Amino acid sequence: MRDAEFFRNWMAAAAAVVEREADRLTELDSPIGDADHGSNLLRGFTAVRTALDAEGPAAPGAVLQLAGRTLISTVGGASGPLYGMLLRRTGKELGEAPEVSDEELREALDKGVGAVAQLGGAAPGDKTMLDALLPGVAALATSYRAAADAAQDGALATVPMQARKGRASYLGERSIGHQDPGATSSALLMGALADAAERVEGAR
Amino acid sequence: MTGGHGDGGTLPALVGVVLVSHSAPVAESVAELARGLAAGGPVAPVAAAGGTAAGGLGTSAERVVAAAREVDRGAGVALIADLGSSVLTVKALLLEDELPPDARLVDAPFVEGAVAALVAASAGAPLAQVAEAAAEAYAYRKV
């Protein structure tokens, strides 16, 4: 079972990896975006860490809902509402239970990714976050590390795709040959989840 | 008609309009343009929600929520957004019930839609007609 601390660890790991990779995310966002993905997510996840420390939510669902709400209000770019909805919907699905099972988390994340698809209107292959999130969540049934690896593979697979959503879509064929920054940060988020799970394993 | 104001009087309240842009000057200028073109009688409340809280390009959820509350007179709020995060932020706020009841994202071109919405709202049109007027701006061909 996973308690609130597990989810706080996940968000802390996400904040740490975003901090480490912010420059690379912004670099990926330069040729096909507006070169702010790294700095936007850094601002968002730094605010998430502060909010979680200040409020200390006691249930897994509450942790993710607070994180999602904070991202919506602090990121400033399209990734704010998209990641915000991912975490908020997932948190709402988890409800108020003090502990949740891996199976419950998998089902909740599936709903969360559905909310991202609904909000952004993207489909698989459009060169978006979904191209990492969908294979990632599908591989959760195997293990958290398998999910992180599948999301990473999904992010790499966006390189030959032509963007069909967001600013990059205005570039048409010129968006081909670049890795999507949103898919890349989605893989980082799934990687942070695997890190949080392995930290629990290591402590046992 | 006496041309009375919607606030606190006996006439029905007017629909409010919120303009959400990546840029604060764009949102404010379009609000000013719409106010100017809607003038001639009482003008419905319109508020700009542009840029990030830090003054950069982007969308501030706080500014959107504050602007929607500012123009809400109880008759509904029409939100018009420019692109990308502006649209997604409004949609996310609506899905999360963080905007006033009867707030609606209107599918319209930013400048033309803002003018159409404010003219309709100032004439006392209900929210559905304000949204319709703004959406009709898409049908105006320039060539």
Q: At B49, which CATH number?
A: 3.40.50.510
Structural domain includes residue B7: no
- Return the residue of A nearest to B63 by Cα: A73
* Average pLDDT, rounded, for chain B: 92
With CB atoms and an 8 Å threshold, state whether A84 touches B92.
yes
Rounded-to-integer distance, Cα A71 and Cα A52, Å: 12
Instruction: Please give the ipTM for the structure prediction.
Output: 0.83
Residue A22 CB contacts under 8 Å (≥ 6 apart), including other chains: A38, A39, A41, A42
Say which CATH superfamily domain A2-203 falls into.
Answer: DhaL domain (1.25.40.340)
Q: Which residues of A touch B57 (CB under 8 A)?
A: 34
Give domain status of residue B8, yes or no. Answer: no
**pLDDT at residue B8 above 60?**
no
Angle at A85 between CA B21 and CA A58, to 5 degrees: 130
Q: What is the pTM of this model?
A: 0.88
The residue of A37, A64, A65, A75 whose CB has the most chain B CBs within 10 angstroms, and thus the best one to mutate to test that interface, is A75
- Where in the sequence is the domain holding B106, given as residue range(s)? 16-137
Element counts in chain A: helices (H) and strands (E):
8, 2
Residues A1-38: tens digit of each pLDDT: 999 999 999 999 999 999 999 999 999 999 988 888 99
Per the structure, the count of domains in chain B is 1
Q: What residues of chain B lie within 8 A of the CB of A79, using their CB?
A: 85
B142 lies in some domain: no
> Contact B88/A73, CB-based, under 8 Å?
no
